[in-house]
Amino acid sequence: MIADFDYQFFIEVLVGGLLSGVMYSLVAIGFVLIYKTSGVLNFAQGAMLLFAALTFVSLVERGIPFALALVITFAIMVTMGVAIERTVLRPLTNKPPITLFMATLGLSYIIEGAAQLIWGTQVHGLDLGIEDVPLEIGGVLISQFDIFAAVVAAGMVLLLSLFFRYTRIGLSFRAVADDQFAALAVGLRLPLIWGTVWAAAGLVALVAGLLWGARLGVQFSLSLVVLKALPVLVLGGFDSILGAIVGGLLIGASEKLAEVYIGDYFGGGIESWFAYVVALVFLLIRPSGLFGQKLVERV
Partner 1 sequence: MTAITGSFSSAPVLPKWIVPFLLLAFAYGVVPLIGSSYLFEAILLPFLALSLAGVGLNILTGYAGQVSLGSAAFMAAGAFAAYNFNLRVEGLPLIGSIFLAGIVAAAIGIVFGLPSLRLKGFYLAVSTLAAQFFVQWALTKFSWFSNDSASGVIDAPKLSIAGFAFDGAVGRYLFALTIVTALTFLAYRLVSSQTGRNFIAIRDNETAARIIGIPVLKTKLLAFAISSFIIGVAGVIWAFAYLRTVEPDGFDLDRSFQILFIIIIGGLASIRGAFFGAALIVVFPLALSRLGGFLLGDVFDSGVLDMSQRIVLGALIILFLILEPDGLVALWDRVRRRLLFAWQST
Contacts with partner 1, residue ranges (CB under 8 A): 41, 87-88, 91-92, 95-99, 101-103, 105-114, 116-117, 121, 227, 230-231, 233-234, 238, 266-270, 272-273, 276-277, 279-280, 283-284, 287-289, 295, 297-299
- Least distance from C-beta 207 to partner 1, angstroms? 23
In the complex with partner 1, the residue whose CB is nearer, 71 or 280, is 280
Q: How far is the CB of 87 from partner 1 (least distance, A)?
A: 8
Alpha carbon dihedral 77, 81, 84, 89, in 10-degree steps, equals: 160
Nearest to partner 1 of 102, 216 (CB atom): 102
The distance of closest approach from Cβ of residue 78 to partner 1 in the complex, given in angstroms and rounded to an integer, is: 20
Q: What CA–CA distance (Å, rounded) separates 115 from 111?
A: 6
DSSP string, 112-144: HHHHHHHH-SS-B----S---PEEEETTEEEEH
For the bound state, the minimum distance from the C-beta of residue 154 to partner 1, rounded and expressed in Å, comes to: 26
Query: Counting Cβ atoms within 10 Å, is residue 193 exposed (0-12), middle (13-18) or buried (19+)?
Result: buried
| CB nearer to partner 1: pick between 236 and 252 | 236
State the nearest-atom distance from the C-beta of 40 to partner 1, in Å.
Answer: 9
Nearer to partner 1, 12 or 256 (CB): 256
> What residues contact residue 223 under an 8 Å CB cut-off, 6+ apart?
46, 47, 49, 50, 108, 112
CB of 182 to partner 1, least distance (A): 20
Residue 288's SS3 state is coil
Q: Report the nearest approach of partner 1 to the CB of residue 157 (Å).
A: 22
- Rounded CA separation 238/215 (Å): 26
Nearer to partner 1, 70 or 288 (CB): 288
- Judged by CB, which is closer to partner 1: 15, or 218? 218
Q: 7 or 265, CB closer to partner 1?
A: 265
Q: Are 249 and 44 in contact (CB under 8 A)?
A: no
Q: Are 42 and 111 in contact (CB under 8 A)?
A: no
Say if CB 39 and CB 97 are below 8 A apart. yes
Please list the residues that pair with 212 across neighbouring strands. Answer: none
Residues 122, 132: Cα–Cα separation, whole Å:
24
